[in-house]
Amino acid sequence: MRSFSDWWNTIPSDIVQKARLGDEKDKPLLNQVNYALLQLHLSGKHDTKPTHEELRNWLHSGQVAVLRVSNNK
């Protein structure tokens, strides 16, 4: 099973840049991954998309965040 980083490195750079623009220093968010998945789907690159198991593993292991948690109170 691929790690998120292994998979992310296979994504075309234009999609990566648009998905993460201005947020590169933080952990990837699920909606950024969803953006990349949609762009891959629309461009017909279905073989590039992760498996359900990979995506679930990335979420459960903390490789991808569901929400951005702010420590500013």
Q: How high is the pLDDT of residue 69? A: 72
Q: What is the CA radius of gyration of the chain?
A: 12
Q: In terms of pTM, does the model score above 0.95?
A: no
Contact 31, 64 (CB under 8 A): no
Q: How high is the pLDDT of residue 67? A: 85
Tens-level pLDDT at each residue, the chain (73 residues): 999 999 999 999 999 999 999 998 999 999 999 999 999 999 999 999 999 999 999 999 999 999 877 765 5
Q: How high is the pLDDT of residue 68? A: 78
Give the Cα separation of 49 and 11 in Å (integer). 9
